[in-house]
Amino acid sequence: MRGPLSAAAWHWSCSADTVPGKRTFLNTEYFLTHLSTFDKPLRIAVIGGGPAGLMAAEVLASAGPAVSVQLFDAMPSVGRKFLLAGKGGLNLTHAEPMALFAQRFGDEGAPLLPMIASFGPAEVRAWAAGLGVDTFVGSSGRVFPTDMKAAPLLRAWLHRLRRAGVRFSM
């Protein structure tokens, strides 16, 4: 997959506790690849309405009607920390060559690099553009929404998730 759906290559961990007779998926790429092996529609719960949970819901919902995605959060609305981050202009990513970008994570970040590379700065900007949010590169190399606000991006993202069939339970 290309563009924002390349996030399917991200390896989100699921619960390590498996239930006998149930399948537990360790990453969404594997899940999306093997979706056709199931004989009935799948109901998937995403726990947490932060950016990672919202992106997981988006990727899972991209599988189409064979998957029913419901996102749960204890807070009365999703994306609250995302909105707080937007108070400072919402730094989405850095616009620099991947080798330099990777150095920001130090030696401990090495296992993350394949995942970061699969949804790097160019993909993040394309994802934002797909939501109708233009971005710009600041003098520090950071990428921001042109209007320097998080709320329009979050509203567009939630609208896209609802159109894709994601249900929200607060």
Report the DSSP pairing between strands 167-169 and 135-137.
unpaired
Q: What is the pLDDT of residue 10?
A: 32
- At 12, is the pLDDT very low, low, confident or very high (cuts 50, 70, 90)? very low
Instruction: Give the CA angle between residues 88, 56, 127 to the nearest 5°.
Output: 55
Yes or no: say if 126 and 1 are a contact pair by the CB < 8 Å rule: no
Q: Give pLDDT, residue 97.
A: 82
Rounded CA-CA distance 105/95 in Å is 15
Selection from 129, 159, 114 nearest residue 4 by Cα: 129
- Inform me whether the pLDDT recorded for 17 exceeds 60: no
DSSP 71-123: EE-SSSSS-HHHHHHGGGT---EE-S-HHHHHHTTTGGGGGGHHHHHHT-HHH
Residue 149's pLDDT is 92
pLDDT for 134: 97
Query: Is residue 8 within a helix (H) or strand (E), and if so which, with residue range?
Result: none
* Angular region, 156: left φ>0, alpha ψ -120 to 50, beta rest: alpha
152 or 21: which leads in pLDDT: 152
Mean pLDDT value across residues 3-20? 37
Domains parsed from the chain with CATH numbers: 3-169 (3.50.50.60)
Confidence class of residue 27 from pLDDT cuts 50, 70 and 90?
low
| In the predicted structure, residue 55 carries a pLDDT above the cut 70 | yes
The percent helix, strand, coil of the chain (3-state, each to 5) is: 45, 15, 40
Please tell me the predicted confidence (pLDDT) of residue 28. 63
